[in-house]
Chain A
Amino acid sequence: MSAVVEVSHLTKNFRSVTAVDDVSFTVEENMIYGLLGRNGAGKTTLMQLLTGQDFATRGDIRVFGENPVENAPVLQLVSFIKESQKYPDDFKPKHVLKSAPWFFPFWDADFAERLIDDFRLPLNRRIKKLSRGQLSSIGVIVGLASRAPLTFFDEPYLGLDAVARQIFYDRLLEDYGEHPRTVILSTHLIDEVSNLLEHVLVIDEGKIIVDQDADTLRGSATTVVGTRTAVDAFVADREVLHRDYVGGLASVTVGRLGQAERLEAADAGLELSPVSLQQLIVRKTNVSQKEFEQSA
């Protein structure tokens, strides 16, 4: 395994705001990463730093072993699709799809054609007049067909309907199977992409708070449901991520449970249910929010 991205002690300040705060992590080759976090957590800024579009205040970024800023040999291996991508006013989708192959050495024209059909993208309409979903589909098509060894998708499917999103997931997985590459996917629709992700990075308030294998992460929390007294007794000396009380019933999310602990819970008449990735991340980012407020 080799690292495609290596980041150490990366910080980015905008005047008084620290968007990325002393972040260190690596991204391994040919895996699908989820970069998750709330709005304003620093996801887009982090991706802009990794693609040389913004400049770090401190710290070190290596992409394919080199600093990406103004580094043409490295950047041509990178495709960065963002929700906020601007297109020239007089452009039509055909102009985008005609010019993209000039910039991406691994561009697959047949694949692009197929995607245009899949997403029913009108090629000859002004981009300004496209719907939000059609606009997003241009980015998705370029991002997939460019087949860049390192592909970033930043909220790629704003406005895409459920069918189109499913097409995106399917095509991504299919093509990833045939042409392995490193994909970093940033999104709010965590549960939808949950099965796609192999590794999860969660960023909150500019810090990486989770950097874990997706399978490990999925098993890392369990919700315990039962009567209030029984649940409280069971979770008394465990780390609690979240509590809900309804009348005499309680639903409490705790960390990983071993086999013995599961039996113990069953004996106490408690029900155990897995926690979805989305719930887990909501819990994690909420906790750190509270801690932050307490320390402030």
Chain B
Amino acid sequence: MTIQTEPTAPAASDRLGGSRIIAVLRLNFVNRFAVLGLPWMILGFIFVVNLAIWWIIFSSVSDPADRADVSEGLQYSGASFYIFVYMAVVGVQAIAMTFPFALGYSVTRRDFWLGTALTFVVLSALYSAGMTLLAAIEVWTNGWGFGGRMFTALYFGGTEAPWFERFFLFFAAFLFFFFVGAAIAAIYQRWRVNGMVVFTAVLTLALVAVVGVITLSNSWPAVGEWFAVNGPAGVVAWSLLPTAVSALAGFLLLRRATPKT
């Protein structure tokens, strides 16, 4: 691209170059506490509460068979779900607040989306690595000494999964929540309240239709079988499809969006 009429332009156009995408990445991290500090602190709190409960149960049940039973039940623990919801909110806020702000810094929508997508990938990798490590400790300490399970719940591959499978499960799940959160926020940026109303209506109708088709064709056992056959890794692998669709949709929506004043 050439700039013909402005003498100061050529000198400047080389100064930032492709680093604008990196600049958006850095912008998403500028308040480190919100993206890297607070989530771990809340997760730590949830862990401590769970630890206390495990300890209470462990102390009040002495029969080894009963203890094994408790540990068995804890494989359905949802204690770490919060962190995925938190990341969906981070995805929403990136679009709802950082996007209007970044446009004020004369960032293009394209560079914003690429830089933000990169942010999601980096954050997913960091949090997945941390959770994989915690899962390893959980296995190694036999449930933190009390048979507790938080990072090796069934949906995360159980206690038997190898570390790379766990990492992949966490990583894909984080990506899913980031990009779906961002895409929904992008609908709002593009069409405001009307967009949200239409989106909610369409989503509701689609879910009812899916339930209806499965029920009427007596396919629930087949659905259950699909989950069982695919296993956690397979199911999460399939989640990459809606994640990719959300990533693309988010970009297309933002490309025509104007932050409202």
Residues of A within 8 A of B (CB): 2-4, 29, 44, 48, 51-55, 64-66, 70-82, 84-92, 95, 98-100, 102-106, 148-149
Contacts and interface: CB of A to CB of B under 8 A. Distances in A.
A149 B9 contact: yes
Interface in B1-16: 1, 3-9, 12-13, 15-16
Contact of B31 (A48, A65, A78, A90): A90
Given A48-B258, A70-B110, A86-B101, A105 B6 contact: no
Interface stretch (B20-28, B116-124, B235-243): B20-28
B208 interface: no
A55 B258 contact: yes
Contacts of B1: 66, 71, 73
Contacts of B36: none
A77 B13 CA distance: 8
Interface stretch (B59-67, B92-100, B173-181): B92-100
Most buried by A among B3, B19, B23, B111: B3
Contacts of B31: 88, 90-92, 95
A36 B93 CA distance: 35
A209 to B, nearest CB: 23
Contacts of B30: 91, 95, 98-99
B5 A3 contact: yes
A140 B100 CA distance: 18
Given A66-B3, A99-B27, A76 B259 contact: no
Question: Main SS of chain B's interface residues?
Answer: helix
A86 B189 CA distance: 13
B97 A99 contact: no
Contact of A72 (B27, B33, B100, B111): B111
Contacts of B107: 75, 103
Contact of A103 (B9, B13, B105, B110): B105
A4 B5 contact: yes
A64 B6 contact: yes
Contacts of B27: 99, 102
B149 interface: no
Given A55-B258, A64-B6, A72-B20, A104 B108 contact: no
Nearest to B12: A105
Contacts of B7: 2, 29
- The interface size bin for chain B is 35 or more
A44 B261 contact: yes
Contact of A2 (B5, B33, B34): B5
Contacts of B20: 72, 76, 103
Given A2-B6, A99-B30, A105-B12, A88 B97 contact: yes
B109 A73 contact: no
A64 B9 contact: yes
Given A2-B6, A65-B3, A95-B31, A103 B106 contact: yes
Interface in B227-261: 255-256, 258-259, 261
Contact of A104 (B93, B105, B109, B110): B105
Contact of A102 (B13, B26, B93, B110): B26
B86 to A, nearest CB: 13
30 contacts: A2-B6, A51-B106, A54-B258, A64-B9, A65-B3, A65-B6, A72-B20, A72-B111, A73-B9, A73-B13, A75-B106, A76-B15, A80-B104, A84-B261, A87-B97, A88-B31, A88-B97, A88-B98, A89-B97, A99-B30, A99-B105, A100-B105, A102-B23, A103-B16, A103-B20, A103-B105, A103-B107, A104-B105, A105-B16, A149-B9
B106 A64 contact: no
A201 B105 CA distance: 25
B243 to A, nearest CB: 24
Interface in B173-207: none
B250 to A, nearest CB: 16
Given A82-B261, A106-B12, A65 B5 contact: yes
A65 B9 CA distance: 10
